[in-house]
Each structure stands twice: as structure tokens, then as C-alpha cells.
A and B are shown apart, each in its own frame.
Chain A
């Protein structure tokens, strides 16, 4: 269904005077919104849908696509600078991005993040353009058993984020799984574990939990150590990463792009999952995993490229099957519907011109934010230079305002505050925080699909053995868990020796 002539026509229309300004506006807006904690790409798209009413459909859609791509990218900027993920997806970026900034490499971290996001985004946009119908048939082969296996695989990889103590990592996973169970039983529809609070009848707001765990907890830690830490981290150096450095990470990029695409195509999970998976796997495969978490550029590269690598994958089932890949593409789907363009197989048959314009728009959007991001990197990096005694209270304020901004719900402010305290206590006790976050995402996916798969198999667990993709993923999960266990045992022995 890919047609080079239509794609060229698509590019021609994107770069026309009527549409290009909207691509630029969308990219700038996306970067701004993405970098502000609590404001996600999803919200920005939702906010701007009414403004697209008066626009030509494709101009509006290109603007929203640009916000999507650049918003996902820009979440990493706040992660690097103030350890506050601008969007949920960027939580994996902060693990190494923030330590880099604290070492005076904020500019380099942003440079690598920008290029990596661009590589991942371009790869997935091209995959979408060239193979959309083919990948849609692949997506159809996935159902409940495969989603369950994918979630199990994700959790097994998460264990690799445990840090020194595997047991503590496991405890963090269990905490996340328990939090993920609060709300409504995903299969039966019964309310559960809400302890009579109507506010949590739909579960805790994930973004509020995440802002608390990562950003508020770090602000607490800074306040605690204010008297002993120097007020400013070292000055910013090297904004542009060296080409050789980028090329040297090709293996990481290849892996991240594949992770991004596969996770993206899977409905319900998006950039926030792929970035963690790719980060954990890159860490596991590194010769010296202990470098990670202390400012390894590879960590930033893996997280950012997988994040944007999932954008094309998330768009794919939305455009071809009418199933949004994540929250942001769900809103994009609404925008298409309002412009009288129903996503689904008929969109490709009836409006090939439009689908190719969307492809061209997505490719251009990924180039656009790289240009803007690199131009702005030095400017952004200055934020690190703000005195800690001013920055820490500002981060507190941003976190709480961000929590309120998600749904205008004062309850979410409390959620953020409580999880801020939990995150701070966890870090003091040497418990890793990321497995909690990933378990909150993957837990409900694992539970609902396990139960759905068992119903599909008429109650027999044999369904997992009869389906090759599910079986393969479960086997990989077992191997990966085993590898983590073995490494941990070896490290303990070495430490003892």
C-alpha cells in the first residue's frame, strides 16, 4: 500500500506555506509542554483539538502529530535537568540523564537525548510508512496470551533495574503490583481495594504517582542535604555529542528501535514502557552494568530512542485497526474522527493521499524537533545552573501544581505528596523506585490478559503453550530472570571475596 509518489506529494504538501507553519508551531509547543512536568503530550493534543476545527484537516493533524513526537522527546529535558519527568515516558531518561547533569554534562545529555529521540522517532515513522499494512497483520496475531507474556517479559527485565539488592527490587515490584490492583477489577468490573474512597474507584492516577516517586522525592532529598551539597553543579560543557559517540551506540539504537516498535504496536502500552525496557536491557547487556544510574550516556540514549521509537508503533494500530496504541494516540484518533476521518482499513483505501500526508508529517516532525532541540540545548541546560536553594522549592511547587494539572483533581496532589514521601523513604532504604513505576503499568496489563487468555482457552493454561509467540516471550522472560539471578549471585560472591 506504500506509494512513493503519494509520499512525495505528501512531503510537498507538508512543506507548503499552508501547512509548514503548523508543523513548526506544533513542534515548539510540544517541546514546551513536554518539558513542563505534569503537562503531557496527550494533554497538549487534547487541548489543541478545538483549535484545529477551523483548520484544514491535514494542517491540524500535522500540528497534532508534531506535538506528539516532540512532546514525547521533550519530556526527557526536565528529566535530565531537574529529575522531574516532563512526561511519563521520560522517567527512564532521568536514571542516567540527571546524574550526567549533576556532573556538569547537562548539555551533552540533552544533545544525546535529542539525537537519540530523533533516531528512534525516524525509525518508527519509516517503519509505519513502509510497512503499515504488514505490521497491522502482525499486530492482529497478538492477543491476550501474547500481551500477558509481554508483560511478564517486561517485569522480568525490570528486575534488572534492582540495583545492588535483588530482594529489594523484588519488593519494589510487589509494591507496584499492589498499587496497580487498586480500582476496578479489569475483567469482572467489580470495585476493589478502594477502602471506601470514591476518589480511587478508578485506581491511583499514574502520572501523580510517578511525579511523587521521582520528582518530589528528589526535592525532599535535596532539601535534606542542602547544607552539605554545593549550591550549584559544575558548569555546562559540550552541548553537541560527537558523531563517533552516536555511531558507537548503533547496537543500542537498533535494539531500542525494535523494542519501541513492538511495545508501540501493543495496545495500551507505549513510550513509558518501551523506554524502561530498553534501558534495563541495555544496562543488563553492558560489560559494566554498575556504570548505569551514575551518568552513563548509553542509558540516556537507550531510554530516549525507545521512547520515540514507540511513537510510530503507537500510531500504527490506531490508523489501521482503529485501536489506539496509547493515551496520546487515543486523543489523536478523536481528532481524526472529529475531522470526519474514521481510522481503520477504509482510511487507507479511501484516502491514500491523506494517509501518506500523515506519514510525511510524522517523518518531518521527527526531524523538526531534533533541529529545534539542538538549537535550544544550551539554553535549556542553563536551568541546572539555578541555585539549589531556589531550585528545590521550585521543583516541589512544579510537582504539586503538575499533579493538580493532570485532571484538576485536588486528590491527585495528595497522591503525589504521599508518593513523594514513599519515594524518599525508599531511596533512603536503598530500594529502587523504577520497578514500582513499571509494575504499576505492567501489572494491570498482566492481570487482565492472564484472565482473558484463560477464558479464551476455556479455562486451560495450555493456551500459553499452544501459541508460539506467547511461548517464545515467556521463555525469554524465564531466561532473562535467570540471568539476573545469576549475575546477582556472582556479584554477591565477588563482594564477599
Chain B
């Protein structure tokens, strides 16, 4: 039932294309196809992003980039396989937020320290939403009600320990509220539960709500971000809604290679992937999926990862998921 079997055909297809085009980029790297490991199943948002990014690779980096899905163990298996791959630049990982939390939740020792960061691809702010016919017109309405009725407001999240859950928990802690969290297997089923009126509030990555925001079936109360979202310009940030948060957690996706990859290879990869991330097809996909693109390369990406890990620790402790190993 699980997916990934395209390695073979993708590489066959890629190899045949590579054979027909000559080696115009002769600097030694890349001499053959690059593998992009996506640690999540085919068909998800991360997969779509990876595939669109890799689509036009040939013209930007001089080699095809073959996407391989290695799902399993909430992303550990795929990311671990990248960390353990030969550090020659031919295995690149599409790493995601979970890499920041494995060590803190006790799932695995794996962290960004085992990688050479290439670049941050996007950051997703959490959205706080209710059904369009909900009596709560603003974040203040909901907070007031939750204050008066502790534990009665149910919140659907995309899963325990994910950024939206933690963001809502931090909000609750700061305001002294008590929410009842209902974790689902991902943003889509959580959204369906709120659309069906089974749960009061939806707290997911903002892009998950796009279609239903456009169809006016869900209403944003606030966005957990420092600035407004280009796709949802009318949605107030959490500070504008009247509740400035001390810590802003953001979901993220980025690219990394195994520790010990030679600097010149990293440089080639960084330049290649930067061009790929400026490709029109990729930019259009990101805009249509409401994913604001980010650009932080190398050390800036590392700094971002350090910060998020520091911010995560108290948040995980708050929801009882902190279990350092």
C-alpha cells in the first residue's frame, strides 16, 4: 500500500535522457543523475514540491534530479538514509520540520547536525480557522469564550507535536486558556472534521485551508506569523488580532546533503537548486499552493534550524511530548 517504487523507472527515464544530452557542464560534478530523497509519501504536498523543483533540473544543474520517496517512521527513515548516504552530492534530501523535533521527542537521534544544509525552501505559518457559519467572528471572540469555558473549545490539529498543535498550545499557555486538542492524521482529515461541524476550530498550516478559504467555507481568525500572507492578505496576524505571541513557530522544508560533502560540490548544488527554485513552473506551483518561498542558504539556514530547535523545546514540554535522548 505504501508507495515509492519509482526509483527504477525514474532512473531509467533519467538515464536515457542523460545519455542523449552531452556533458556541457564538465566541472566534474555532477557527472550523473542526482537523487532527491523525499521522506514522505508520493502524493503529499512535500512530494509535489520536490517533483516540481526537480522537473526542470537538467537545464539548471546539468544533470537530472530523480525524486525517490522513502516514507516511513514519520520521516525518520528517509532523512536517516540521506544522512548515511555517501557524501558525494549525488544524494540530496528534502528535509522537513520533523528533523527539528526527532531528538526532542525521543523518536531518533537524527538532527540537522548530521547534514550540510543547502537551503530553506519555504516556511509555513499556522492558520487559526473556524467554519464560515461559526459564531466566532474574531480571535477575540474565541479567546473570550474559551476563557469563560475552559476545555470546551475543541481544536482539530494535523497531528500531535506538529507545528500547528504546538502553536496553539503556546497560545493557550500564554493566555492561560484550556483547549481540547483532537489530533488527526494530517491536515486534510482535520479540516474535514471542522467543515463537518464536529470540531470547533481548525489549526493547520495555512496553505491547507486555501481551497476552503476561497470557497468561503472556512474563515481565518488569525495567522501565526510576523507578517501577512500574500495569498490571504485580509487575514490578520496573531499580533494584529490582539494576541502577540512570544514565540512564533513555523513549519519548514529545505534541502540538505550528508555531513562531509565537499564544499565545491555544495556550492554547485546550491547554485543549481537556487536556479531551480527560481524556475517559473516551481514559482507558480508554490504560489498556487499558497506556500511563501523562503531563501536562506547555507549558514543562514543553519541559524534558522538552531533557532527553531531552541523554540521547540519549551513548546514540546508544554504539550508533554518532550523526551530528550
Contact = CB atoms under 8 A, between A and B. Distances in A.
Interface stretch (A105-113, A234-242, A324-332, A374-382): A324-332
B52 interface: yes
B196 A43 contact: no
Contacts of A140: 192, 195-197
A458 B198 CA distance: 12
Label chain A's interface by main secondary structure: helix
Contacts of A228: none
Contacts of A458: 151-152, 154, 180
Contact of A201 (B73, B152, B188): B73
Contacts of B74: 184, 189, 201-202
Contact of B160 (A50, A188, A331): A188
A72 to B, nearest CB: 12
Contact of A406 (B2, B9, B45, B51): B2
A139 B191 CA distance: 13
Interface in A444-466: 448, 452, 455-456, 458
A43 B288 contact: no
Contacts of B107: 191, 201
A60 to B, nearest CB: 13
B289 interface: yes
A143 interface: yes
A337 interface: yes
**Could you say which of A327, A338, A405 has the most chain B C-beta atoms within 10 Å of its C-beta?**
A338
A455 B191 contact: no
B199 A456 contact: yes
B3 A338 contact: no
Contacts of A202: 71-74, 77
Nearest to A40: B1
Interface stretch (A4-12, A342-350, A352-360, A478-486): A342-350
B289 to A, nearest CB: 7
A103 to B, nearest CB: 31
B8 to A, nearest CB: 8
Contacts of A206: 1-2
A456 B198 contact: yes
A303 interface: no
A233 interface: no
B304 interface: no
Contacts, number: 186
A50 B11 CA distance: 11
A340 interface: yes
Contacts of B55: 53
Nearest to B161: A189
A47 interface: yes
Nearest to B210: A342
Contact of B5 (A43, A189, A335): A43
A321 interface: yes
B159 interface: yes
A48 B69 CA distance: 13
B203 interface: no
A202 B72 CA distance: 6
Contacts of A335: 43
A165 interface: no
Interface string B48-88: 10011001000000000001011111101100000000000
B21 to A, nearest CB: 15
A207 B98 CA distance: 26
B265 interface: no
B234 interface: no
A406 B5 CA distance: 7
Contacts of A198: 73, 76-77, 108
B184 A88 contact: no
A268 interface: yes
Contact of A344 (B5, B184, B211): B211
A140 B183 CA distance: 17
28 contacts: A43-B3, A46-B43, A47-B8, A50-B13, A50-B67, A140-B195, A142-B196, A143-B193, A187-B183, A188-B321, A189-B321, A198-B77, A201-B77, A202-B72, A202-B74, A207-B1, A321-B192, A322-B188, A323-B188, A323-B192, A327-B2, A335-B43, A342-B211, A342-B289, A344-B212, A345-B217, A407-B71, A456-B199
Pick the 10 closest A-B CB pairs, nearest first: A344-B211, A334-B43, A140-B196, A143-B198, A331-B43, A201-B73, A43-B5, A189-B160, A345-B215, A46-B42
Given A189-B183, A408-B4, 16 more contacts: A43-B5, A46-B5, A47-B9, A47-B10, A49-B42, A141-B196, A198-B73, A201-B77, A272-B1, A327-B2, A327-B3, A332-B43, A334-B51, A342-B211, A343-B211, A407-B5
Interface of A: 39-40, 42-43, 46-51, 53, 88, 139-144, 184, 186-189, 191, 198, 201-202, 205-207, 267-268, 272, 317, 321-324, 327, 330-335, 337-338, 340, 342-347, 349, 405-409, 448, 452, 455-456, 458
